[in-house]
Structure formats: C-alpha cells, structure tokens
C-alpha cells in the first residue's frame, strides 16, 4: 500500500485528487496539508511514502517545502503539482529533490500513473525538463571535489545561477515562486557574501564559475 500525503490550498482540487486516488486499491491518502507549515507538521506525525506538492502555497513556496521535508525524511518521494510543465519553478523543484511533476488538470489515469511511478522509485519528467536537469548537473560535475560558492546557501546559489542567466528580480521571483521582497533580500545577501560591488560583478563571477550556462 502506497501512503499519499496531499499538500495544496485549493479545497476543490484536493477533493478531486482524493477521489481520484481513492479508487485505487493500492493507494491510501493519509493526510492533507494546506500550507508549508502544515506539511512540515504532518510529515513529522504521519507515515507517508509520496507527497503531492503544490508549488504555490499561502505561506511560502512548494520548492522550499520540498527541501524542508526531504531534510527530515530523505526517503519521501515528492511529486510536484503544477499549472505549467514549462515553468522554471518545475526545474527548481527537481533540483530541490522532487521526483517529477504532474500538471493540474491531468486525468485520473495520468495522476495515478505518476504517483505509482515515483512510489516505485522512478521519475516523471518530460524530455525538456530532463534535458535541463542534465545540463544543470553536468555543470556541477565539471568541477569535481569543489562546491560552487560554499559561502552561499542552496537558495542563494540557486538565485546566483538565475542572476548569471540575466534574470531580473521579478523573473527570479516567478521562477522560484517567491515574493519580490524575499528575492531582494536574497540578492542582497548574495552580493554581501561574495563581496561583490554590484549585481554585474556577481553575474560575471558566477559565469566564470560555470553558472548561468543554460
């Protein structure tokens, strides 16, 4: 039996997913959370195998929630629920440890297939997302034994990579499902930790290190 935890703040969507999964004898919905905080609390109390994670939650990003849940329960399989498979946030979630995604509006068969695939240890990626992830991890592997910018947190390094691609703050906010204020704070922290005079200097240093190559 695969135990599934649902994380989404839209009641009608949750009802539909619950009904779709309840028709499968090998799937059991063991809990529902409507925010990042509720998800963290529920994972600590409820045994689950797969988490269906929305990217847009009222108190934060599903990307950060994915990272937090896997830090506590590395064995969890997280499947992202998204409005668009082309969203940069999907790739960001995969980098955070999610095993795949399912588009909102997918049929019951597709949803069930995605859940059972990740529960079995597989991944659910489109060719485009898989290619982008391959490029990303190949870039990291090109520098063996050395972490890029170790003074930065994972989130700050992710933002620096987007700066290196030429993203402005608003586009970074959309890509990572963060508020504009949160992005501004992270960018300020990146510049301080890199001792960079301005954004342009940070961009150049990041590109020389191999970031922003997409």
Question: CA 140, CA 117: separation in Å to the nearest integer?
Answer: 27
User: Structure tokens of 49?
Assistant: 């195998």
Domain 2-126 has CATH 2.102.10.10: no
Nearest in space to 139 (alpha carbons), one of 159, 161, 168, 122: 161
Q: Taking the domains of the chain in order of start, what are their residue ranges?
A: 2-126, 143-208
Q: Do domains 2-126 and 143-208 have the same CATH topology?
A: no
User: Average of pLDDT values for 57-75?
Assistant: 89
User: Is this structure's pTM higher than 0.85?
Assistant: no
The CATH classification of domain 143-208, taken from the options 3.30.1330.10, 1.10.10.10, 3.30.360.10, 1.10.240.10: 1.10.10.10
pLDDT for 24-62, tens place per residue? 999 999 999 999 999 999 999 999 999 999 988 999 889
The full 3-state SS of the chain, as one line of letters, equals: CEEEEEECCCHHHHHHHHHHHHCCCCEEEEEEECCHHHHHHHHHHCCCCEEEEECEECCEEHHHHHHHHHHHCCCCEEEEEECCCCCHHHHHHHHHCCCEEEECCCCHHHHHHHHHHHHCCCCECCHHHHHHHHHHHHHHHCCCCCCCCCCCCHHHHHHHHHHHCCCCHHHHHHHHCCCHHHHHHHHHHHHHHHCCCCHHHHHHHHHHCCCCCC
pLDDT at 123 (0 to 100): 87
């Amino acid at each position: 039996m695969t135990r599934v935890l649902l994380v989404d703040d839209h009641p009608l969507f949750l009802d539909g997913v619950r009904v779709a999964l309840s028709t499968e004898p090998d799937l059991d919905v063991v809990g529902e959370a409507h925010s990042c905080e509720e998800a963290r609390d529920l994972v600590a109390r409820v045994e689950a195998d797969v988490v269906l994670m929305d990217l847009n939650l009222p108190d934060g990003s599903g990307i950060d929630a994915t990272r937090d849940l896997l830090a506590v329960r590395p064995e969890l399989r997280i499947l992202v629920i998204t409005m668009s498979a082309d969203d940069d946030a999907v790739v960001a979630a995969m980098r955070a440890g999610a095993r795949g995604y399912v588009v909102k509006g997918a049929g019951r068969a597709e949803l069930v297939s995605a859940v059972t695939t990740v529960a079995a240890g597989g991944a659910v990626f489109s060719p485009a997302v898989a290619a982008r992830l391959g490029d990303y991890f190949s870039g990291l592997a090109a520098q063996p034994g050395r972490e890029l910018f170790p003074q930065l947190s994972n989130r700050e390094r992710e933002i620096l990579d987007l700066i290196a691609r030429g993203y402005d703050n608003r586009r970074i906010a959309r890509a990572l499902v963060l508020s504009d204020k949160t992005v501004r704070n992270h960018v300020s922290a990146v510049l301080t930790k890199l001792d960079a005079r301005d954004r342009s200097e940070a961009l150049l240093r990041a590109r020389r290190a191999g970031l922003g190559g997409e």
